[in-house]
Amino acid sequence: MFEGLRKRLRGVSRKLGESITEGEDTPGTGEISPAANGAAGTEKPGQTGLASRVKVLITERELVISEKDISEALSELEMILLESDVALPVTDDIISHVRSNLIGKHRKIGDNVDDIVIDALRGALLDVLGPGFDLVRYIGEHERPVRLLFTGVNGTGKTTTVAKVAYFLKQKGYSVVIGAGDTFRAGAIEQIDVHAQRVGIKVIQHQQGGDPSAVLFDAVQYATAHHIDVVLADTAGRFHNRANLMNQLDKIRRVMKPDLIIYVDEAVAGNDAVIRAHEFEKTVGADAVILTKADMDSKGGAAISIAHTIGKPLMFLGNGQGYEDIIPFSPEQVVSELLKEAPDA
């Protein structure tokens, strides 16, 4: 997952570190005088030799990181982020976060510059990734049945994702029912039915071409009558007719009253996924996002950009074709993955 970006981030953070340490040879204006604690001056003759006195002077000397120390490496970082499909405003935010975190930072000669650089990058990435969304906690805090409505572009993995979330919640001990609300696409009802059978979840379904609101209403009724914890509503994900989609979703909203609208798209679509999610959020509204196919995405740009761009959290990453291949999105974990030192880096 995001392997290409990880390697490039390691490369540029190393370069940032090197360009900062190069300043040690020509400290110039960035140099701060030796710590004025009299460390060398307080020595009594005979107590310390000249060599160690010089060492004290050097190791106590502080440098300040300046713009010129890092500007070239920051330009490279900017290129890497853009080439990895990180959205332009998000790239700008990351760069300015790293810049303001590094410039003016005091460091002692001999300090581990790599740690300073990695800390700055970590802070910048965590800042744009946002907090994520803890679905289990959300369900724990809400009235039953909790109603989750899934929408997104066909082919991105929406149906599989509904089954994965059902499986995930079942593993967590919740009872789940699926509403087959994609009554538009031929084969969609059978598709969700097959998935649901495999993960052992009941599906409420009507005929193809029926009113999705009616199916989803029935799914909620069923859940209420049988004390089911969560209703997962699959819906048609077509965008070619936006007016129709919006009318349909409006009706579903009124009838089913979803607690959360979850937008599903694929990480491999990069910037396109971010643009589509933004558009969807502006016109229809979403509460959270799931990105599928993160396992096939070397760049990571959509995962890094989407929450910051649309202002809604990432909830899960899909990372394979199996039902267990879904991971709750953890910003800390993703950043650790991205910044980890691997033997091949």
Which residues form the interface with ligand GDP (CB under 6 A)?
Answer: 154-160, 292-293, 295-296, 318-321, 325
Question: What CA–CA distance (Å, rounded) separates 305 from 100?
Answer: 20
Residue 327 C-beta: closest distance to ligand GDP, Å: 10
Residue 94 C-beta: closest distance to ligand GDP, Å: 25
Beta bridge partners of 271: none
Among candidate residues 177, 136, 132, 172, the one with its CA nearest the CA of residue 290: 132
Residue 91 vs 160, nearer CB to ligand GDP: 160
Residue 161 C-beta: closest distance to ligand GDP, Å: 6
129 in Cβ contact with 314 (< 8 Å): yes
Residue 12 vs 261, nearer CB to ligand GDP: 261
Residue 31 C-beta: closest distance to ligand GDP, Å: 52
Residue 293 C-beta: closest distance to ligand GDP, Å: 4
Q: 3-state secondary structure string, 128-151?
A: HHCCCCCHHHHHHHCCCCEEEEEE
